[in-house]
Structure 1
Amino acid sequence: MTDTGAVSGAGVSVIGGRARNEDAYLAESPVFVVADGMGGHIAGAEAAWAAVTAFRALAGEPATPADVERAHLEARRLVDGVQEEVGGESGTTLTGAIAVTHRGHPWWMVINVGDSRTYALEGGVLRQISVDHSHVQELVTAGRITPAQALVHPDRNILTRAVGDHQTRMDAWLVPHVPGRRLVIASDGLMKEVEDAEIGEIVGLIGDAEAAAAALVELAVGRGARDNVTVVVADSDLVTPVDADPSPWTLWGDDARADTGADTTASERRRGDA
């Protein structure tokens, strides 16, 4: 667990029902990220650790949105290196939040590639910030299936974007620091076993970030988690002024950009069985 007095957090990761843990995470202020290696590809664990390694340079240092962009591109470079080393496809999801300074004000910069998720809990309500890059999410967005149907859909393991697909885009939002707002970052092994409402209830009741992350992981494992389960919980004492301008980055919420996921279908990747 790390605590700078302003931004703090902790993470927990377990193997679950897999042969090995292909998740990786970093919870060192100001960086809180989770990567989930693709079990259906060679060296998924190595890809996840490579992506996380790219963000270690930001740990313990002041960060800007440009720093986060560079770390994302470095993550892609390192994962490409893993693919070259093993001589086959490898990839990983990547999501999380980095505390940054933009135009003189503090923000959370939330990033996402793939279907691991970053949530925000505020006032007892859990809301998903990230948008899944997955085939079933596209079907849900198009109104062809419901979120409940997506959980059991035969194509639920198909990703439409990943680190390792030779693209350069990530989704990113500048999210204001608000008193009492807590972030939850997790690999999909958690969401397969625990509903969003339950996630919100647990992280709302347990004040300590590490204890909250551990409680979520334990609940998933207790329900027979078939996948690796990784959870990072992050808190902040910072406050973003209400009149702060996030431009050119998009403010999460009603003003969130409409094009997330618009170019995803060219990079279809499939996870291992889950």
Structure 2
Amino acid sequence: MTSRVEVSARSDTGAVRQVNEDSYLAEDPVFVVADGMGGHARGDVASRTAVESLARTIPAGTTPTPDEVITAIDEANAAVRALSDAEETGAAVAGTTLTGVVRVRVPERAAEEWMVVNIGDSRVYSWDERALTQLTADHSAVQELLDAGLITPEQAAVHPERNVITRALGAEDFVDTDSLLIPLDQARTFLVCSDGLTRELSDETIAEILAGDPADPAGVLVEAAVAAGGHDNVTVLVVRPAAARS
């Protein structure tokens, strides 16, 4: 079975930054956002390299297996890694987050499913017309402090290390990709976004906007984030499987 999807996509530099270091790929079966590491060398090139690599290794119209998706991400990591010289470390290393959903075939179940993938602090949420649920866990210094109970969510929002991520494409020779499989028949809408959205808008506000069922939900969300301050680049994909349409 081939799943048809409706996609709303928008990316904006925001109100403060001069360069948009976000990139995205939104061609069935791959719907991902890459956020170049802010303040690092070639962040815009890193994010673009990652999505271009995925577009080559998982062509539009194909249906990869989960193992093939992980292999493709490993190849994207190598491509981003190659942007940095061997002696470069820390902030000099080109890097990017990579987060999204991929429609895959699972041979052992003879079925198609959605594969959620995540590296970094961009996010995937599911929206079922009633509730917004975060499906990914941030790979960030602040998230580790939250998980350890050392700070509150309110403190996390203003923490000086809130921009520090602990996992990224290009940072190391090998990257560990978080993944989750979701049956295709569990109809839902996916929101994929860089942290430029979630830094400006609360989950409650995002849910309120989606509940209004705008014709261009990604555009409305990005515009709201920019209006709220737009301190970072903002990229949003809203992926609606055909079965999720009302």
TM-score (norm 1): 0.81
Q: State the 1:147 CA deviation.
A: 1.7
Q: State the 1:168 CA deviation.
A: 2.4
Match runs of 1:192-207 below 5 Å: 192-206=199-213
Among 125, 128, 133, the alignment partner of 1:127 is 133
TM-score (norm 2): 0.89
- 2:240 pairs with 1:235: yes
Give, in whole Å, the separation in 1 of the partners of 2:45 and 2:86: 11
**Which amino acid is the alignment partner of residue 24 of structure 2?**
Y
Name the structure 2 match of 1:27. Answer: 26
Give the conservation status (yes or no) of the 8 Å contact 2:168–2:175. no
**1:78-111, Cα deviation, whole Å (9 max, x unpaired):** 1011113996411001100001111311211000
Name the structure 2 match of 1:100. Answer: 104
Give the conservation status (yes or no) of the 8 Å contact 1:136–1:153. yes
- 2:231 pairs with 1:226: yes
**Which amino acid is the alignment partner of residue 215 of structure 1?**
V
Count of residue pairs the alignment pairs up: 234
Give the conservation status (yes or no) of the 8 Å contact 2:187–2:243. no
Among 212, 217, 231, the alignment partner of 1:212 is 217
> Between the two proteins, what is the percent identity of the paired residues?
45
**1:106-144, Cα deviation, whole Å (9 max, x unpaired):** 211000000000100114100100100001101111111
Give the conservation status (yes or no) of the 8 Å contact 1:121–1:204. no
Give the conservation status (yes or no) of the 8 Å contact 1:8–1:29. no
Q: State the 1:60 CA deviation.
A: 2.0
Give, in whole Å, the separation in 1 of the partners of 2:30 and 2:198: 22
Name the structure 1 match of 2:44. Answer: 45
Q: State the 1:237 CA deviation.
A: 3.1
Give, in whole Å, the separation in 1 of the partners of 2:54 and 2:161: 31
Q: State the 1:156 CA deviation.
A: 0.7
Give, in whole Å, the separation in 1 of the partners of 2:181 and 2:175: 19
Give, in whole Å, the separation in 1 of the partners of 2:3 and 2:79: 32
Question: Aligned in 2, Cα 1:43/1:86: closer, same or farther, shift over 3 Å?
Answer: farther
Question: Aligned in 2, Cα 1:5/1:172: closer, same or farther, shift over 3 Å?
Answer: closer
**1:161-212, Cα deviation, whole Å (9 max, x unpaired):** 111121321101102234541000000000111111111221232254xx00
Among 86, 109, 118, the alignment partner of 1:112 is 118
Give, in whole Å, the separation in 1 of the partners of 2:228 and 2:190: 23
Name the structure 2 match of 1:270. Answer: none
**Which blocks of at least 5 consecutive residues in structure 2 are unaligned?**
none
**Which amino acid is the alignment partner of residue 98 of structure 1?**
V
Match runs of 1:165-180 below 5 Å: 165-166=171-172, 167-178=174-185, 180=187
Give, in whole Å, the separation in 2 of the partners of 1:201 and 1:214: 15
Name the structure 2 match of 1:139. Answer: 145
- 2:93 pairs with 1:89: yes
Give, in whole Å, the separation in 2 of the partners of 1:54 and 1:86: 24
Give, in whole Å, the separation in 1 of the partners of 2:112 and 2:3: 14
Question: Aligned in 2, Cα 1:105/1:234: closer, same or farther, shift over 3 Å?
Answer: same
**Which amino acid is the alignment partner of residue 228 of structure 2?**
R
Give, in whole Å, the separation in 2 of the partners of 1:180 and 1:25: 23
Question: Aligned in 2, Cα 1:86/1:52: closer, same or farther, shift over 3 Å?
Answer: farther
